[in-house]
Structure 1
Amino acid sequence: MGIQVKRNTGVMGGATKVSLSVGGEKVKKLSNNEEYRIDANQGPVKIKANQMYFGSAEIEVEDQSVVEIKINQTALLLFVLSMVFLLVGVMVSPLVIGIGVVGTLVTMIYATKLV
C-alpha cells in the first residue's frame, strides 16, 4: 500500500521546500501542503525531513502509515529571538550581538537534533 507523507508547515515554514530522505537518500522536495507516497514493500522504512539547516530525527515508519511534517515551533522561536538580538545589537552594544550569535548557534544545534 505505502506510506503517505504530507507537509503541513504553514506560513512560517513555507519559505523553502522540505527535502524528504528515505533510507538516507533524498527522494523528493515537498512544498507546503504537498503529499508524497513511499512504497514500503520490504517492511519498515527510515525517513527524515530537512529544511535549510532545520531537520528532523530519522524515524522508522511501518507500511500503511500517514506521516505529517510540521515546523518545530521551539526552534523557530529561538531563531526569531536570535535574529532580534542581532539586529538590536547593531544599534545598542556588541554584547547584545554576542548574545544573538550564541543564540543562533544554539538554535542551529537544537534544530539539527544534535543535542
Structure 2
Amino acid sequence: MFLTGLALLPAIALVVWIYRQDKVEKEPRGLLWKIFLFGVLSVIPAMILEIILDEVFLVFMVFMDADTLCYVILDNFIGVALIEELCKMKAAKWAAWKHPA
C-alpha cells in the first residue's frame, strides 16, 4: 500500500500544482479529481487491450524477428503508447465532456 501511494504521489502533486497555477477561472476540484480517478482507472482497459494486441503481434512474429527495430517500434508505439493515451483521452472525455465547467 505504501508503494502504491508513493507511485501516485507525483501525479497528485502535478494535479495540485496545475490547479494552483490556474489564476483566471479554476475548474471545480471535484471535476479535477473525477478526471484524475477516471485516468487512473483507464489502466484497466488499456491493460486488456495491450494483452490482446500483444497476442496479435506474436502471430506476426512469424514474419519478423522480435529483435528488429520495426517490431520494437510497432510494439512500443502502437501496442503500448497509443493504446494507453487513447484510453486516458477517452476516460477524460467521459468524465468531463458534459460538465458545464
Q: TM-score, normalised by structure 1?
A: 0.34
Q: TM-score, normalised by structure 2?
A: 0.37
Structure with larger RCO (C-alpha < 8 A, sep 6+): 2
Question: Which structure dedicates a bigger proportion of its chain to strand?
Answer: 1
Question: Which structure dedicates a bigger proportion of its chain to helix?
Answer: 2
